[in-house]
Amino acid sequence: MFDLNPLNLPDAQWQQWIMMIVAGMLGFFIGYASHKQYIAGLQGRLVSIKRDLDGYHRSKIPVIVQGDDEETTVLNRIRSRSNEINFSRIGMASAAEADDLKEIIGIGPFLEKKLNVIGICTFRQIARFTKEDIDTINDIIEFFPGRIQRDDWVRQAADLIKEKKSE
């Protein structure tokens, strides 16, 4: 009576090919969307890991002990502003990598403590200072305006790096 076999229709093969192509395209788009979602999740984890790593590097900076003396108060105030520095450009350094910054003319023991507290521990970091970095750091460490430039810390740090390499 009725022949319900769809394969007997004259254009059944074309319909099957069209359905396979549509199914393939749907699979491709769904896979593409889920892949983009997976990559976005990985990028979020990467940002989180970088933030944790930055926090770890900052924790390597010498911790200031509690005290009532004026020096401790100043160092704590300076440390609280260390997040204003662009460490992604000048680089991070730990206390283990620290150079003797007092070799730079114009940096004494207390100024070296101030720099170490905000995370500046190496000649390499000082050699990478730009005008903006110098202004920011000068403000943070509460140093005489223009003194970093007058003493030419950037050139001195670069010279000390070359001197270390030649040894």
DSSP 17-68: HHHHHHHHHHHHHHHHHHHHHHHHHHHHHHHHHHHHHHHHHHHTSPPPPP-S
Angstrom distance (rounded) from CA 121 to CA 126:
9
User: Model confidence at 67, in pLDDT bands (50, 70, 90)?
Assistant: low
Q: With a cut of 60, say whether residue 59 has pLDDT above it.
A: no
Burial (0-12, 13-18, 19+ Cβ within 10 Å), 135:
middle
Chain segment 129-161, per-residue pLDDT in tens: 999 988 888 888 887 778 888 889 999 999 999
> Which residue, among 120, 136, 122, 113, has the nearest Cα to 64 in the 3D structure?
113
Angstrom distance (rounded) from CA 114 to CA 90:
17
H or E stretch covering 78: helix 70-79
Residue 152 tokens, joined: 């030419």
Output 99 or 8, whichever has higher pLDDT. Answer: 99
Q: Mapping DSSP to helix (H, G, I), strand (E, B) and coil, where does residue 144 land?
A: coil
Angstrom distance (rounded) from CA 121 to CA 21:
62
Chain segment 81-135, per-residue pLDDT in tens: 888 888 888 888 877 788 899 999 989 898 898 888 888 899 999 999 999 988 8
Q: Where are the domains of the chain?
A: 14-58, 65-166
